[in-house]
Amino acid sequence: MNKIAVFTSGGDSPGMNACIRAVVRSAIYNGIEVYGIRRGFNGMINGDIFRMESSSVSNIIQRGGTILKSARSKEFTTKEGRQKAYDNLKAHNIDGLVAIGGDGTFTGANIFYQEFGVPTIGAPGTIDNDLYGTDYTIGYDTAVNTAINAIDKIRDTADSHERVFFIEVMGRDSGYIAIPCAVGGGAEIVMIPETKTSIKNVVETLQTGWSRSKTSFVVVIAEGDEEGTAVEIAAKVQKEIPRMDARVTILGHVQRGGSPSAADRMLASQLGIACVDGLLQGRACEMAGIVNSQLVYTPFIDTITKEKAINPSFSQMISILSV
């Protein structure tokens, strides 16, 4: 393992730069030449590959986003596209890859290894925290704190105007952001893809709250909930309770940006080093993660296919705390 390359792919997340920094400096520490690939698999196909030095990653640990940029690549889903990517890696004599991303990134890397034998170790870079094989993903802690900060402000105006706020957070297939936001933000209701919360349940909870003289409510909704978006859910509840004074806030991509928290910087640094170590150990198609405070390597196929379940007691916690 003489030369490796690092790239980021899929949705960006706070802490990706800290992970890039750790990969670059860990490689240099181990006497390995390290290259950066801009714009993920697209950059690999287009040959956007460049040598990185220790100074390349100076003063980036505190920055959100990714200095290597990120992009989704339709061309990489084709055999021809992957052949171009392989040819460009071989032109630079690159022996292994570090991929910072989520399940789509690892799916592509897994196929790439099967076809061309280029070993890849992954770091879980996604705010959704939905990857099997790690307790936390890079960017998750920052995203949750960003969302809670917004919810705290919304609760102030909800209380002042005695309104119901329907707040949508990210999580297309996962409620991992919504749950801590609901608990930490003092929400009365949380709606996530993993559990069914009907409009009838929402209506009953609101009416019960009003009967106990509650005057304002916060409903946290993961964007992938089966009842629809926050706008759609608010409209359905409004139809059942015409007197309700409701507002909708969609936090959106603000959750992906911003300076990473200390926890995310620590996690990203630890996993970046672990990725380089994994390549040096001869590992391939595995994701570095932290489970019960221990470093583990999980096969890509498991991170892609196995479900990372949410503790059901968390939803019960919200019911207890909103009484």
Positions annotated as catalytic residues are 128
Q: Is 52 annotated as a binding residue?
A: no
Q: Is 3 annotated as a binding residue?
A: no
Please tell me what DSSP assigns to residue 15.
T
Q: Could you tell me which of 121, 132, 139 has the C-alpha nearest to residue 65? A: 139
Residues 6+ apart with CB under 8 A from 132: 298, 302, 303, 305, 306, 307, 308
Q: Is 25 annotated as a binding residue?
A: yes
CA 226 – CA 224 distance, rounded (Å): 6
Q: Could you tell me which of 278, 307, 308 has the C-alpha nearest to residue 122? A: 278
Contact 76, 32 (CB under 8 A): no
Q: Is 274 annotated as a binding residue?
A: no
Q: Is 38 annotated as a binding residue?
A: no
Q: Is 48 annotated as a binding residue?
A: no
Q: Is 265 annotated as a binding residue?
A: no
3-class DSSP state of 174: coil
Q: Is 224 annotated as a binding residue?
A: no
Contact 267, 138 (CB under 8 A): yes
Q: Is 183 annotated as a binding residue?
A: no
> Which residues are documented as binding site?
11, 21-25, 72-73, 102-105, 126-128, 155, 163, 170-172, 186-188, 212, 214-216, 223, 247, 253-256
> Which residues are documented as binding site for substrate?
126-128, 163, 170-172, 223, 247, 253-256
> Which residues are documented as binding site for ADP?
21-25, 155, 186-188, 212, 214-216
> Which residues are documented as binding site for ATP?
11, 72-73, 102-105
> Which residues are documented as binding site for Mg(2+)?
103
